Structure 1
Amino acid sequence: MASSYPPAQLSLTAPSAAPAEEARQEGFELPAHTASVARARARLRSKLQHWGFPEELGHTAQLVISEFVTNAVLHTDTVRIRCRIHLDSERLRIEVSDEGAQNCAPQPRSATLDEVNGRGLQLVGALAQRWGVSAHGTRCGRVVWAELGMTGAL
């Protein structure tokens, strides 16, 4: 069955950078364990509160990072997960990278009505301005990223 959701965008370029005085960023690593999903969400929430990020958009950001970390834990053979958030006047970019040996990108799928899993990337696609997957280059793994728009938020 064909999905009505666009596939993940493969992007090997970084978004345009804002002036250094406007951009804020944070990075952290977590072990690839299910408990790391809540830890990633808490780290993101804390940093966004510190930056004065709107609470409602913060909930959306937490959903996105939860989905990406969960997928890295459950669907890759990685040991460590790296998270990076970048906030400028136009967008919040969330990146989650793994070290998995798989050579495939996560794809949204169509879950049946009685399935409890399988809708996370569909939600990300509906909530984010853009999202996609970037290769690590010569290293194994990938970076899954999403951008949430900031127009009128700050």
Structure 2
Amino acid sequence: MPVALHRPTAPLSDTAPVGDEGGVRDEGGVRREGFDLPAHASAVAQAREKVCGQLRHWGLPEDLGDMAQLVISEFFTNAVLHTDSGRVRCHLQVCQERLRIEVRDEGGGHVAPREAAAEDVNGRGLQLVSAVAEKWGVLGGGPHLGRVVWAELSLFAL
């Protein structure tokens, strides 16, 4: 599946009324949750746990949680390894038939999959994201603005 670099709506808001489903819920039934972690290697496992726990809390399928953990692992790992970020922030949003995952770091520059050689240990993460996501892309990337890497997963194409 080719990489879909789209310019979607603006990044998810940090503010909305808290609903009874856990996380943040707005009037249209959209569920949102967010968290931030220090930009350390140990944060990758913490991010996976938080995402999986939130999706379980929302009653979403386990297979979706597995795909979301893959996406969050890749995005957080890239933020930790390839930027000088102090903190990395994650937003989750469930709306209609999609789970949107956004990871905001303090980095800038281009994000794209690379072609890994057969003997390479690393370099396939964004290819995997491209394979499981309906679409994904990057917003921002200015030197002092930070960057948002996002992916949308279908709730029902499992």
Shorter-chain TM band: 0.7 to 0.9
CA-based RMSD: 2.3
TM-score by length of 1: 0.85
The alpha-carbon distance between structure 1 residues 138 and 74, as it changes in their structure 2 partners (threshold 3 A), is closer
What residue number does 2:49 align with?
42
- Is the contact made by 1:34 and 1:70 (CA closer than 8 Å) also made in structure 2? yes
Identity rate, percent:
54
1:118 and 2:123 equivalent?
Answer: yes
Distance in structure 2 (CA, Å) of the matches to 1:95 and 1:89: 17
Counterpart pick for 1:9 among 5, 9, 30? 5
Letter paired with 2:156: T
**1:35–1:138 distance in 2 versus 1, CA, 3 Å:** closer
1:97 equivalent in alignment to 2:104: yes
Q: What is the identity, as a one-letter code, of the residue corresponding to 1:106?
A: V
> 1:13: how far off?
2.4
Q: Equivalents in 2 of 1:128, 1:31: separation in Å?
A: 26
1:9 positional shift: 1.1
Read off the aligned partner of 1:32 and give its amino acid letter: A
- Structure 2: gaps (5+ residues): 12-24
C-alpha distance in 2, partners of 1:118/1:136?
Answer: 20
SS where residue 9 of structure 1 aligns? coil
Partner of 1:82: 89
Name which of 91, 108, 113 aligns with 1:108: 113
Report what 1:33 is aligned to.
40
Residue 5 of structure 1 deviates from its aligned partner by 3.7
Q: Is the 8 A contact 1:82 1:96 kept in 2?
A: yes
Aligned length: 145
Q: Structure 1: state its 5+ residue gaps.
A: none
Structure-1 separation of matches of 2:35 and 2:141:
17
CA change 1:136–1:76 in 2 (3 A) is closer
Which aligned pairs between 1:128-139 and structure 2 lie closer than 5 A?
Answer: 128-135=133-140, 139=144
Correspondence 1:63 to 2:70: yes
Secondary structure of the residue aligned to 2:96 is coil
- Normalising by structure 2, we get a TM-score of 0.83
Deviations 1:29-84 (A, max 9, x none): 10000000000000001100000010011100000000000000000111110000
Indicate the SS of the match to 1:64. Answer: helix
